[in-house]
Amino acid sequence: MDYMSSVLIVGGGGREHAMVKALLRSDHPLCMYAYPGNPGMQNDGCTLVDGTIKSWNELAEWVDKNEIDLTIVGPEAPLVEGIVEIFKKKGRAIFGPGKKAAQIEGNKAFAKKFMKKYGIPTAAFSVFDNKDAATAYVKKMGAPIVVKASGLAAGKGAVVCETLKEATDAIGSMLDARVFGEAGSTVVIEEKMTGEEASVFVLADGKSYKILPVSQDHKRIGDQDTGPNTGGMGAYAPCPLVDKKLLAQIEEEIIVPTLDGMKKDGFPYHGLLYVGVMVTESGPRVVEYNCRFGDPETQAVLPLVDCDWYELFLACATGRLSSVKWHVRPEYCVSVVLASKGYPGKYEKGKLIGGIEKAEGHKSNVDVYHAGTALNKDGQIVTNGGRVLTVSAWADSISDAITEAYEAVGAIHFDGMTYRKDIAAKGMARVKKNKEAESVRTK
């Protein structure tokens, strides 16, 4: 029997709850903590860390005092702020990239220049901190064009502009009105690419890497990809858009040069590298890098991988990734986000949530992950955010996974519950098309 290890999860969204459930499925006995965590993580046995802790230095002191074996960081902000360096100074194992490597998400201008230096395929771009120069550039290039705040803008910093007016307005809002504060004091203006997107997750330990099943997010609020962008309304994995051949191309043209370039530039990558890829007519190109797992893609990816997740996260943090064994089950996982009415705009909080236990039933292939939830004064679970829950279900076929996920969704209710009805529909259509193509080939 392994000895009991202690783990701290930093974050409190669906992604972090999915990490907790994956860790619980491992054989390794664990004592789990979360900061700040959520009621779902607490239900699963995580102890929520004292809310009076207000800085990463204070959290590192708490970790040191409580001799936590491994800290796993979910969101980007702590990584960009340098949590990894603070914990390492105390000699504590932590999963995630250092501050410099986290710049690939925290500083888009840096990421684009890095890609250019190493010949990694991405949209053509220019960087500006002056409104007149930026405006002159978009007038020269014409619409459509994409305007992005260079810094962290909570997923709202990229504006895909169909007209010149939209582009000049976006430039004005970022460089003049500073709607994203300092994050928008530099803008990246880039060519608009056309194609379907996929999320490629790569685990890396500074020396070797492993690619997780590729997933696909659903960014728009409405069915058929309509309405405003959100943090993500659902995901599924594996994504049939990226077949073996395309994945090999992504690995050769994007993943290997990215990890090698980071090594050469003195910031070898540790943790999870999220490569947002657009599959264009001229091949796969990088839309963005993120320095952490995606949400809700993680909720669709982790349930498909059988391994000792504690060992895997620890191996990444300590440079032993190549020694870890895992098994990816040949199944599909579909994850549906349940949001508050009004999201991604204004929404109300405090609505009673019912049916979570019924949704999970006693099924081993359905999980409900908490995100924007809280306990009211009577200890009942209520809504407390835009994205409230993610429901994930996995099965042998994509159509069964979709059916199971929506059956579980049907058991959950709260006032104003909003969700997309077409999560993984694009994937199912492609699976069908690929099968037809296969049968034509084998006839």
Q: Does 183 bind ligand AMP (CB under 6 A)?
A: no
Q: Closest by alpha carbon to 311, among 7, 16, 1, 83?
A: 7
295 binds, among ligand AMP, ligand GLY, none (CB under 5 to 8 A by kind): ligand GLY
Q: How far is the CB of 122 from ligand AMP (least distance, A)?
A: 8
96 binds, among ligand AMP, ligand GLY, none (CB under 5 to 8 A by kind): none
Residue 344 and residue 229 in contact, taking contact as beta carbons nearer than 8 Å:
yes
Question: What string of DSSP letters covers 310-371?
Answer: HHHHHHHHHT-GGG---EE-S-EEEEEEEE-TTTTS------B-B-HHHHHTT-TTEEEEES
3-state secondary structure of 387: strand
Give me the residue whose beta carbon is nearest to ligand AMP.
Answer: 158
Q: Does 105 bind ligand GLY (CB under 6 A)?
A: no
Q: Which of residues 290-319 bind ligand GLY (CB under 6 A)?
A: 290, 294-295, 297
232 binds, among ligand AMP, ligand GLY, none (CB under 5 to 8 A by kind): ligand GLY
Number of H helices, E strands in the chain: 16, 24
The neighbouring-strand residues paired with 220 are 229
Stretch (H or E) spanning 79: helix 76-80
Measured in residues, the chain has a length of 443
Q: Which of residues 142-161 bind ligand GLY (CB under 6 A)?
A: 155
Q: Which residue lies nearer to ligand GLY by CB, 33 or 180?
A: 180
Q: Does 193 bind ligand AMP (CB under 6 A)?
A: yes
In the numeric block, which tokens belong to residue 221? 């609020």
Q: Which residue lies nearer to ligand GLY by CB, 257 or 294?
A: 294
Four-residue CA torsion sign, 355, 361, 365, 369: positive
Span interacting with ligand GLY, options 63-71, 80-88, 279-287, 289-297, rule CB under 6 A: 289-297
Q: How far is the CB of 99 from ligand AMP (least distance, A)?
A: 20
Q: Does 190 bind ligand AMP (CB under 6 A)?
A: yes
158 binds, among ligand AMP, ligand GLY, none (CB under 5 to 8 A by kind): ligand AMP
Question: What string of DSSP letters covers 176-229?
Answer: IS-TTGGGGSSEEEEEPP-SEEEEEEEEEESS-EEEPPPBEE--EEETTTEEEE
Q: Which residue lies nearer to ligand AMP by CB, 121 or 271?
A: 121
Q: Closest by alpha carbon to 381, among 22, 30, 41, 31?
A: 41
Q: Does 97 bind ligand GLY (CB under 6 A)?
A: no
Residue type, 33: Y
Q: How far is the CB of 295 from ligand GLY (least distance, A)?
A: 5
Q: Does 232 bind ligand GLY (CB under 6 A)?
A: yes
Site string for ligand AMP, 197-216 (x = CB under 6 A): x-------------------
Q: Which residue lies nearer to ligand AMP by CB, 178 or 192?
A: 192
Residue 29 and residue 69 in contact, taking contact as beta carbons nearer than 8 Å:
no
From candidates 24, 77, 143, 160, binder to ligand AMP by CB under 6 A: 160
Q: Does 127 bind ligand AMP (CB under 6 A)?
A: no
In the numeric block, which tokens belong to residue 300? 């669709």
In the numeric block, which tokens belong to residue 17? 């709850």
From candidates 190, 205, 217, 308, binder to ligand GLY by CB under 6 A: 217
Residue 295 to residue 203: CA distance in whole angstroms:
16
Positions in the binding site for ligand GLY (CB under 6 A): 155, 217, 232, 290, 294-295, 297
